Amino acid sequence: MRALPFPTLAGLLLLAAPLTGQDLGDVLLQRTLDVGDGGRVVVDVADADIRVVSGGANVSVTVYVRARDDAWGREVFERMAFHVEASGTEARIEATDARIDGRDWRRHGGVGVTAVLRVPAGAALDLTSADGDIDVEGAFAEALLVRTSDGDVRVRGVRPTRLELRSSDGDLVVEDATAPELRLHTSDGDVRVEGVAGRLDVETSDGDVDVRIREFHGARLRSGDGDITLWLPSDADADVELRGEDLSIERALTIRGRIGEHRIEGTLGAGGPRLEVATGDGSIELRDAR
């Protein structure tokens, strides 16, 4: 994440589980919305962390604020103008930028704001934070779209019809996820994927990529300036193209075709879904995921 002259609101809180309400701060907003399975939950907060877990029949929203100066924390919360509403099958949680300048920071200290949601597993999620981390956990079965301009994203245990994670400046982590297609793009950060099934599309302009695939259905992995390590099932079948400064393939994974120092094209096993791995200035390692 980029360096700022003073800490951001969301940057003062790490999404490290487990965190209790006391860890997150004081509750300044609490609402329950009737949406249910098959609905859609949209969160767009300018300067806060977002945590979402699956469960329950309704959408519960709790906003925590942590500050050294309680009155200042409440003022920041009020500046953000949280708006929470449900209309039909859609719930919306929105907040604006609190606009804290360096003078406010020096006078009052930092403020951490976290929106915590419990959402039915059958609801679709569309989550956006302009400057905060986003954490999602649970067996969500509908579309899952996550975007942050300056923050990390972590997703665990999801089973969506569509998964898309984007960060302009942050790391992406996906653990135990199954989807027809998983798209993970960050402009400046590392990507770590463990235990996924589905077609995978990963891209980072400047960062390392570490991917462990549970069921291979095709993959495209790219880094402009970083190393890529891919762990594949030993029985995977793929049409392979690798491009990088240094290529390394574990002996258990046999590729037949054109083998060069910086480029490999061929078939793994009997051939099958396309596997494309490329880095502009880094190494590529293929490893057996046994």
Three-state DSSP class for residue 204: strand
Return d(Cα 94, Cα 168) in angstroms, integer. 20
pLDDT digit string, tens, across residues 46-67: 989 999 999 999 999 999 999 9
- Look at residue 10 in the predicted model and tell me its pLDDT: 42
Return d(Cα 1, Cα 167) in angstroms, integer. 10
- Look at residue 277 in the predicted model and tell me its pLDDT: 98
**DSSP result, 17-44:** SS--HHHH-EEEEEEEE---TT-EEEEE
CA angle 5, 105, 66 (to 5 degrees): 115
Return d(Cα 176, Cα 56) in angstroms, integer. 22
Q: Is 121 exposed, middle or buried (0-12, 13-18, 19+ CB in 10 A)?
A: middle
**DSSP result, 232-271:** E-TT--EEEEEESSEEEE-TTS-EEEEE-SSEEEEEETT-
- Look at residue 22 in the predicted model and tell me its pLDDT: 58
Quick one: which of 131, 149, 123, 150 has its CA closest to 52?
Answer: 123
CA angle 166, 145, 9 (to 5 degrees): 60
Low-confidence ranges of the chain (pLDDT < 70): 1-22, 36
Quick one: which of 230, 195, 234 has its CA closest to 209?
Answer: 230
Contact 268, 286 (CB under 8 A): no
Neighbours of 290 (CB within 10 A): 10
Q: What is the pTM of this model?
A: 0.89
